Amino acid sequence: MRAQLTDLRFATAGVFLLSMRPLMRTAALLWDRLRGMRWGVATAVCVGLLAAFLAPLVGTSSAAAQADSTHYQTLQLGERSRGMAGAFTAYAADGAAIWFNPAGLPLLEPKLLQGSLSLIQRRTLKYSGALVSDGPDGPGGEDQVEDFNLKSNPTLPGFAVASFALGKRKEELDNRKPLQIAISAFVLYNVELGGDVNFQDQFLRTNSLQFYQDDRASYFAAAIGHRPTRNFSWGITLLARNRVIEHVETASLTIGGTQDPSRGSPCPTSPTIPFCVFDATQVSRNTVFRMNSWDLSLRIGLLNLIGERWRVGLMFQPPGFKVGGKSNLRFELSDVVSSNASLDPGLSDSVFANVQSGARSPIPWELRVGVSYVISSKVVVAADVQFVGRVPDGSIAPGIPQLEGRANTSGALLADSTKRDFTWNISLGSEIQINRFLFTRFGFLTDNSSAPDASGAADFVRPVKTDRYGFSASVGGAKNGKGLSAGVSVLFGKGTANGLDFRNEAFENDRNFLRVPVKERILIISVGGDIGQTADVVTTSIKEKKSRKEIEAEEEAERAVRLAEMEAETDPDIKAAKERAIKAREERDEAERRAKEADAEVERLKATKPGNLDAEGQEALQGGTQSAIETIR
């Protein structure tokens, strides 16, 4: 027996331009708002919208280390949330808040453009005893068992989000606007799998099963967050999900029969086998299945700031609701039963079908509860708990006809059941600021599967069920409102999956799937960046700008009053004295301005020359200090 897997990979794929339609109307509604903005804001928002629309086109994703149809932890939406292992419901301090908790949006920088990109992803799956067939002695003899070691190297999953603030600035919100709108697009997962399984039986006949499967979920999101008070905010995200499945499968199997040496060796009609074989059952199947479904879901978030250190967040997603969908099955079957088989030879079949039907891909309810705590001005810790509800059993393509006593017409290796069990996960993360510009993040998470446990022996395949745990870390820097970071995530998992049983007994009982153990390892190396600052930095910056503007307005008002009083004065001596006082104040203000510039030059030189200064540097530093002293004098 020989088992071979070739071209088995979880690769990346793009999303068709047609899938951009659900948010085109939203973009049109935002256009009126953009026309009234200053060019800088409008440019940032337009670039963000473009990046968000193109994210599924230029950056694809895989099921590795992130949500798929049976896992719900999400690590690819933002480098900050990935570094903290998804402990982001309460912290929600960047554009990934559109997914984790939209209530965090009003705390972001008023103009934000953010993206992340995975450079390397590596996934390894090991199926123990995944292929079982009759040995050289035939049925009843010693079985032959093979393991599957599947490796994949998917790359370049992308995420982009753009957001901007709306409304009038409020003094009680530190002169920030209370509303924040965000828009994003991303591929949550894309599993592309292809393989060729070949094995030989006791008669040296080669049986084969080739398959290709692509399962992709693309998301388009629009969100709004509102901050009515300083310590409380809420938000809501509308998500349109497009799930596309394509499954192609071809099988050619010959089962049973007896050898007839009378025709010589090798067999004239089959030169690859030593003797002709008669009274065998021959099965040939060709399946092409396609599904396209659209669903909508809402994510509702609440965020409460308790004092100066605590944040508590909650995000709830009700079950999604179906918008539409369709599926198509093209199926060909040729099944020739042996003339001496125990079954009636009249059961030999030749079937062709091209069937259109509906499609469904239910979205379960989800609840996330999180808390974050500021240990110091440089250290933040956060924790999340995630609960995901069950999904009743059903088919992703209801109405597709089945043949009694046959394998699934949609594909023997297509897990088309929608059944999902209740599951829960935890995330723990921390962000540490090393200095003014550098920071690092660490995290731990679990990612339990919602797939039902693979049964001991079955006539249909179930999804792989692996419960994962893992660690993440990232390091990066930020300056002048721009940031860049790099991170790594490592996950380990184990569970159960279905192996293939090609023994004659399994074919007779039509139960060709076994329950086998599986182990999984995942590695992700990624980079991320943003244009815009974090909420705390922005708040401080806005306060400083507000103070300067208020001081300048007050000084201008005072100058206007003094000038008016001087112009109204009739006594020439008093008028001259008032004029001298106004000039003296102007000279004083100018001297203070030069002193601040000189102080800034001193700080700049200190920052750029932290070690021993050369003669030129010392002269520049002394000159700046002397200039400041003289100006103050």
Question: Each residue of 567-590: pLDDT tens digit?
Answer: 888 888 888 888 888 888 888 888
Domain finish residue from 533, 550, 565: 533
Domain finish residue from 488, 511, 533: 533
Does the residue 69 lie in any domain?
A: yes
Q: Which residue has the tokens 């071979």?
A: 4
Residue-wise pLDDT for 197-238, tens only, equals 777 777 777 778 888 888 888 899 999 999 999 899 999 999
594 in the same domain as 527: no
Of residues 344 and 478, more confidence is placed in 478
> What confidence score (pLDDT) does residue 169 get?
87
Look at residue 111 and tell me whether its pLDDT is greater than 90. Answer: no
Q: Confidence class of residue 61 from pLDDT cuts 50, 70 and 90?
A: very low
Overall average pLDDT of the 382-386 stretch: 96
Look at residue 63 and tell me whether its pLDDT is greater than 90. Answer: no
496 in the same domain as 617: no
Q: Which of 121-130, 335-344, 531-540 has the highest mean pLDDT?
A: 121-130
- Transcribe 229-273 into DSSP letters: SSSEEEEEEEEEEEEEEEEEEEEEEEE--EEEGGG-SSBTTBTTS
411 in the same domain as 268: yes
Does the residue 540 lie in any domain?
A: no
Does the residue 583 lie in any domain?
A: no
> What confidence score (pLDDT) does residue 212 get?
85
Look at residue 36 and tell me whether its pLDDT is greater than 70. Answer: no
32 in the same domain as 181: yes
328 in the same domain as 226: yes
CB 569 within 8 A of CB 198: no
Q: Helix 21-35 vs helix 39-58: angle between axes, to the nearest 10 degrees?
A: 170
Q: Helix 572-608 vs helix 615-632: angle between axes, to the nearest 10 degrees?
A: 160
593 in the same domain as 528: no
Of residues 27 and 222, more confidence is placed in 222
Of residues 36 and 373, more confidence is placed in 373
- The answer to which of 56-65, 142-151, 256-265, 352-361 has the lowest mean pLDDT is 56-65
In whole angstroms, what is the distance from residue 306 CA to residue 333 CA?
65
Which residues are CB-neighbours of 197 under 8 A, at least 6 positions away? 3, 4, 5, 131, 208, 209, 210, 500
> What confidence score (pLDDT) does residue 200 get?
73
Does the residue 571 lie in any domain?
A: no
625 in the same domain as 513: no
Does the residue 569 lie in any domain?
A: no
Q: Confidence class of residue 19 from pLDDT cuts 50, 70 and 90?
A: very low
> What confidence score (pLDDT) does residue 58 get?
40
Which residues are CB-neighbours of 487 under 8 A, at least 6 positions away? 79, 82, 83, 441, 472, 473, 474, 475, 524, 525, 526, 527, 528
Q: What is the mean pLDDT of the chain?
A: 75
Domain finish residue from 508, 533, 558: 533
611 in the same domain as 519: no
> What confidence score (pLDDT) does residue 9 get?
33
Q: Give how far Cα 315 sits from Cα of 2, 113, 250, 429, Å.
A: 51, 23, 44, 18
Of residues 468 and 602, more confidence is placed in 468
Of residues 153 and 574, more confidence is placed in 574
> What confidence score (pLDDT) does residue 448 get?
94
Give the domain range for residue 100.
17-533
Which residues are CB-neighbours of 40 under 8 A, at least 6 positions away? 111
CATH number reported for the structural domain that contains residue 237 in this entry: 2.40.160.60
Residue-wise pLDDT for 457-494, tens only, equals 566 778 888 999 999 999 888 776 677 888 889 999 99
Does the residue 75 lie in any domain?
A: yes
Does the residue 9 lie in any domain?
A: no
Measured between alpha carbons, how far apart are the two ends of the chain, in Å? 95
Which among 358, 363, 387 has a CA at the least distance from the CA of 296? 363
Share of the chain above pLDDT 70, in %: 70
593 in the same domain as 478: no
Counted residue by residue, the chain has a size of 633
Look at residue 449 and tell me whether its pLDDT is greater than 50. Answer: yes
Q: Is the pTM of this model over 0.85?
A: no
Which residues are CB-neighbours of 259 under 8 A, at least 6 positions away? 203, 275, 276, 277
Look at residue 395 and tell me whether its pLDDT is greater than 80. Answer: yes
Does the residue 539 lie in any domain?
A: no
> What confidence score (pLDDT) does residue 16 get?
31
SS (H, E, C) 116-171: EEEEEEEEEEEEEEEEEEECCCCCCCCEEEEEEEEEECCCCCEEEEEEEEECCCEH
Structural domain tally of the chain? 2
276 in the same domain as 143: yes
